[in-house]
A and B are shown apart, each in its own frame.
Chain A
């Protein structure tokens, strides 16, 4: 069956350290993978999109990697700050045909401890 798993339901990281979140998928061949941030009671906010032919994408303190062999994406926040505390969702478009629905993982609740 098809699955998107974000390994940690919750992750606590000391301020200033790098937070690394994992997204694994099975039985998908996604053309795109996206990462979103969601704060409690709010809609998700788009962070980064990475294509299947891209190994890595960066945006300020954020870095995303995409390994189609391992079927895994890693999301890194460097120099983490308490304001980075939120739930982070990975999402993928399940096939290369395009025009498919965006399927979300269950999310990782990240807490940055001052």
Chain B
């Protein structure tokens, strides 16, 4: 089946530093990748949608200058949390789909737990 990996699986960083999270589709080409954030006991909230080679589309309320997304190839997307603050601590999950639409089934990575101290 389709496999999506994320790295790192967890990270602790100091307030004010930047953190990069990688999302890779291992056995298929991901036309579209999505980045979600999940707070404890809450559902997944979409942050942004990225298509290979083009700028990401951010959801309302998500600061594009704070959460930098790069989708440089059909198998790799990165999310950089810049100048992280404790309120950015969360579980970040990416997903990928071989299709162009969100209506296709999505394959999720295992998630990255970010803790900002």
- A residues near B (Cβ < 8 Å) are 31-32, 34, 36, 41-46, 49, 89, 93, 98-107
Contact = CB atoms under 8 A, between A and B. Distances in A.
15 contacts: A36-B108, A41-B113, A43-B95, A43-B108, A43-B111, A46-B106, A46-B108, A93-B102, A98-B103, A99-B100, A101-B59, A102-B103, A103-B46, A104-B43, A106-B43
Contacts of A42: 110-111
A44 B108 contact: yes
B107 interface: yes
Given A46-B106, A102-B34, A93 B101 contact: yes
A75 B28 CA distance: 29
Interface in B78-110: 91, 93, 95, 100-103, 105-110
Most chain-A CB neighbours within 10 Å: which of B4, B34, B103, B110?
B103
A36 B95 CA distance: 13
Contacts of B91: 41
A43 B36 CA distance: 10
B77 interface: no
Given A89-B43, A101-B59, A104-B43, A34 B113 contact: no
Interface residues of B, number: 24
B49 interface: yes
Q: Which 8 A-B pairs have the closest CB atoms?
A: A43-B108, A93-B103, A104-B43, A99-B101, A98-B101, A102-B102, A32-B103, A46-B105
Given A45-B108, A100-B103, A101-B102, 13 more contacts: A41-B111, A42-B110, A43-B6, A44-B44, A46-B107, A46-B108, A49-B105, A93-B103, A99-B103, A101-B59, A104-B44, A106-B42, A106-B43
Given A41-B113, A42-B110, A89-B43, A100 B105 contact: no
Nearest to A107: B43
A101 B46 contact: yes
A89 B44 contact: yes
